[in-house]
Amino acid sequence: IKIEGDLVLGGLFPINEKGTGIEECGRINEDRGIQRLEAMLFAIDEINRDNYLLPGIKLGVHILDTCSRDTYALEQSLEFVRASLTKVDETEYMCPDGSYAIQENLPLLIAGVIGGSYSSVSIQVSHRSTIR
């Protein structure tokens, strides 16, 4: 789930359970996944509606499924790292015709990450996010 904003928060939730065999993800995980996903979306909506909390700033989200597995969560969290590596100030680059480069479909630059729901997931993701 991606919702654009001035400040974007990442979310890692076990929306699906672990898969069996060759499937990476299993059935929907209502308690640990969907409820926490909905709680984050509700909180973001409430904050964005309140003009006094963050005046002039809209919060956005980029929420990914961990499938209740630390290794899958690590793969997913690379999306957050990729965003910080590819975000480029387009005014720095010019095209041969003198116009400024415009990059479309850039990944969102993530200000912080909420989750994972399991310690093993949080540990893996925190180690990955500190690599520079």
pLDDT in tens, 2-12: 899 999 999 99
Average pLDDT score over residue span 39-52: 96
- Rounded Cα distance between 49 and 42, Å, is 11
Q: What is the DSSP letter of 24?
A: S
Q: Is the pLDDT of residue 104 over 60?
A: no
Q: At 35, which helix (H) or strand (E)?
A: helix 35-49
- Rounded Cα distance between 77 and 20, Å, is 22
What is the pTM for the complete model shown? 0.74
So what's the pLDDT on residue 131?
A: 47
So what's the pLDDT on residue 101?
A: 60
Say yes or no: domain 2-129 is CATH 3.50.50.60: no
